Amino acid sequence: MLIVMKPSATQAEIDAVVERIRSLGLTPHPIPGAQRVAIGITGNKSGLDPDPFTILPGVADAIRVSQPFKLVSREVKPEDTVIDVGGVPLGGPAIALMAGPCSVESREQILETAHAVKAAGARFLRGGAYKPRTSPYEFQGLAEEGLRLLALAREQTGLKVVTEVMDVETLPMVCDYADVLQIGARNMQNFSLLKQLGTLRKPVLLKRGPSATIKEWLMAAEYVLSRGNYQVALCERGIRTFETMTRNTLDINAVPVLKALTHLPVVVDPSHGIGLRAHVAAVARAGVAAGADGLIVEVHPHPEKALSDGHQSLTPAEFEGLVAQVRVIGSALGRPLSS
């Protein structure tokens, strides 16, 4: 249920509706909008009767939300969500560029990459300190040392840090260093982790599970919003299909479909989406053309020496070329790169 307040509603009237929702054992979610405040209601096990709400002072309407996902839906919040990551927007008209290595490997590697991607136009530095590797014998990341190196790179460049958190145990520590918490594809439906993220007030980049439907993905985001953390962006990173020539199949359809269904920012990861360095730029261009609000791209100063995902990592020069192309496509759509 969504309670839409009149544009003229007073704060006292809004507070009274919030109180009434609480008194029924339900959870109110006030959503400020450009024209009026709306209040989402969650926690009801069956359909709610709108009538007792429509008679309250200041209420314009009480609407049943038709989608199973509520707080993430455009029905509930028509305006795009813009996440303020320490002064850098994620979502909204500007396209956010995130770039960096798959894994943080060393001080030299992360600092060199950070300076290079910043010069090319990125505002966010990506890099994993905890890596979800398919094989237990592969490089697992530098753990807290990797987080410290990311913080050092942030200090030197001003880039915002996007890094993966893999479990509830390391969440407090990763939070101390990250500006955006990346939830990896394999953890999209880790419900205990999602519930914990909901208690934080920190931006989350929720990657799509390799076999998750758009609905399952939106329901995973709903877990986080339903507990009060509204700062969630979605990241399309390719799904598993019958195709074997590419690492994954980037679901370009998901971009416009999500933009219609949800107000949350949509980021495209062309690196994992195709898994082939030669074609990363093409997929990045397609993502922006389809309406993505951001890109997250793997960049390594020496991809041939990378400890993970070197085959899909761009050199800084290649990334610069990608940014130049994306800038042109963005401007054709009236979307500048975030500066």
Residues forming the site for ligand PEP (CB under 6 A): 102, 128, 132, 184-185, 207, 237, 272
Using CB atoms within 10 Å of the CB of residue 86, give its burial: 0 to 12 exposed, 13 to 18 middle, 19+ buried: exposed
* Cα(126)–Cα(96) distance, integer angstroms: 12
C-beta closer to Mn ion: residue 227 or 277:
277
Q: Any contact of residue 102 with Mn ion (CB under 5 A)?
A: yes
C-beta closer to Mn ion: residue 262 or 313:
313
Please give the DSSP secondary-structure letter assigned to residue 333: T
- 101-109, 155-163, 214-222, 234-242 -> range binding Mn ion (CB under 5 A): 101-109
* Cα(222)–Cα(329) distance, integer angstroms: 31
Amino acid symbol at 273 = G
Distances (CA, A) of 173 to 38, 130, 163, 232: 35, 11, 12, 20
CB of 214 to Mn ion, least distance (A): 22
CB of 68 to ligand PEP, least distance (A): 24
Tell me the site size for Mn ion, rule CB under 5 A: 2
CB of 271 to ligand PEP, least distance (A): 8
The two tokens of residue 49 are 């009767």
Other beta carbons within 10 angstroms of residue 82's beta carbon come to 16
The site partner of 237 among Mn ion, ligand PEP, none (C-beta below 5 to 8 Å per kind) is ligand PEP
| Best CA proximity match to 295, nearest among 236, 253, 251, 336 | 236
C-beta closer to Mn ion: residue 77 or 247:
247
C-beta closer to ligand PEP: residue 60 or 143:
143
CB of 87 to ligand PEP, least distance (A): 24
Q: Any contact of residue 221 with Mn ion (CB under 5 A)?
A: no
- 23-31, 89-97, 158-166, 302-310 -> range binding Mn ion (CB under 5 A): 302-310
Using CB atoms within 10 Å of the CB of residue 332, give its burial: 0 to 12 exposed, 13 to 18 middle, 19+ buried: exposed
The residue number whose beta carbon is nearest to Mn ion equals 102
The site partner of 316 among Mn ion, ligand PEP, none (C-beta below 5 to 8 Å per kind) is none
Grouping H, G, I as helix, E, B as strand and the rest as coil, residue 219 is helix
Length of the chain: 339
C-beta closer to ligand PEP: residue 102 or 254:
102
Q: Any contact of residue 98 with Mn ion (CB under 5 A)?
A: no
C-beta closer to ligand PEP: residue 184 or 294:
184
When binding is defined by CB under 5 A, the residue of 75, 164, 179, 309 that contacts Mn ion is: 309
Strand intervals (E) in the chain: 2-5, 27-32, 37-42, 59-63, 83-85, 88-90, 96-100, 124-126, 160-164, 180-183, 204-207, 232-236, 266-268, 294-298
Q: Are 233 and 203 in contact (CB under 8 A)?
A: yes
CB of 197 to ligand PEP, least distance (A): 15
C-beta closer to ligand PEP: residue 9 or 102:
102
Binding site for Mn ion (CB under 5 A): 102, 309
